Amino acid sequence: MPTPAPAPAASPRYIWQHRAWPQLTFDAVALAPTLDQARLDQGRLLGLLSAIGLEQAKEVQRELWVQEALATAAIEGEQLNLESLRSSVAHRLSLADAPGSDRSAEGLVQVMADALTNHSAAFDLDRLCRWQSALFPGGTSGITRIAVGRVRSHADAMQIVSGAMGREVVHYEAPPSTQVTVEVEHLLAWFENTRSTGGAAAVNGIARAALVHLWFESIHPFEDGNGRLGRALADMALAQDMHARDAQASAALVRVYGLAHQMLTTRATYYDALNHAQRLRGIAPDAEALDVTHWVQWFVQAFTRACVASQAVVLDATDKAHLRLRAAQCHINPRQSKVLERLLEAGHVGSGGGFLGSMTSEKYAKITGVSKATATRDLADLLAHGLLRVEGVGKATRYAVNVPGWEQPVLKP
């Protein structure tokens, strides 16, 4: 009886299956204008931060850190407790004595802080595993027990899937667990060898952040937390880039870039760009390197948009500081200060916030616990000092903070 012929090997589909893996490359000449624009907007953002003073810069950093933590968790479908997150971030920035009580939020903030403040320290597999362990302090993801503090070891394929049960769509399949440790060691060695701005191995710092994120996500070394860890690695790369360009710069400033928030805003295109880069579409079987120019361009453009968005946050913080200073000079009462602060913290439409329906005498009375007559007098006084502006008349009267360009959402009648 003849021996059956062996089944043909499946054609490689993913970049880690290519003979050139993990030699990732990009067209530096083609990306030069995109990288130049990124550096320009990065410089504008850092210039704005330098101009507003240390204490105000810390407040901006706190708000952007909170937004980043919320965003990087939300990309993975996780919602963090906002108040606990604010406390944890404030603690890390020395603005509060103790962190929040939510262990998951505190763990994520610890990872984010370590990536930035300790960016120069040796980064090895043990440190990476400790990051992953911090994300899951209870040893579970939801109610499912997962391997914590070590790379995955299960025999099942690590796949990124979507769709209903029985009709799943496989978007990506990572290397088998038996290869993970070696794959991560290769990545970490490259990460260490390319951190300097000098030498033949040097890589543009922003492009390097794009490459390490793609490489890490392609390995997908843990049972859970890979997205958050991959974005933390990108942040570390950006912190190292900042330090290489200016040794006196604060690495913590990298958090103001708002990259995770930008990725959340464009989550569909983020996943599409990542998925496109992880597949072997159009890459010749005998290629000497894997060209991921398309991914690097997407990442750099996202970084640029994040810098522009953060510039707006800094400008908003400057507006708030100016109004608070004017209010202090007017010697307003505690009730007025409380309401004014509520309006400032709510922000405005352009920043994605705003006090719904603007302020009314009824809302003022409810917030401060005073009569409507007292509320009306307090609001009239704030209006006379130029701290508020008024819209409408009679029952339609609405008050908003008097900051040029700030629009408030108004309820439809």
Q: Check: CATH 3.40.640.10 for 331-401?
A: no
Cβ-proximal residues to 7 (8 Å cutoff; 6+ apart), any chain: none
Highest mean pLDDT among 153-157, 243-247, 270-274, 312-316: 270-274
pLDDT band with cut points at 50, 70 and 90 for residue 308 = very high
Q: What's the predicted TM-score (pTM) here?
A: 0.84
AA identity, residue 303 = F
Give me the mean pLDDT over the 203-223 stretch: 96
Please, are residues 105 and 81 in contact by the beta-carbon 8 Å criterion?
Answer: yes
| Per-residue pLDDT at 92 | 81
CA nearest neighbour of 401 among 290, 334, 322: 322
Please, are residues 140 and 121 in contact by the beta-carbon 8 Å criterion?
Answer: no
DSSP state of 350: G
Q: CATH topology of 15-315 equal to that of 331-401?
A: no
Domain ranges of the chain: 15-315, 331-401
User: What distance, in Å, lies between the first and last C-alpha atoms of the chain?
Assistant: 85
Please, are residues 286 and 240 in contact by the beta-carbon 8 Å criterion?
Answer: no
What tens digit of pLDDT does each residue of 133-180 get? 999 998 888 778 888 999 999 999 898 887 777 788 888 999 999 999
Highest mean pLDDT among 67-71, 392-396, 409-413: 67-71
CATH class of domain segment(s) 15-315: mainly alpha
CA nearest neighbour of 215 among 13, 23, 20: 23
Beta strands in 212-314 (DSSP E): 290-291
What tens digit of pLDDT does each residue of 350-380 get? 554 555 557 899 999 999 999 999 999 999 9
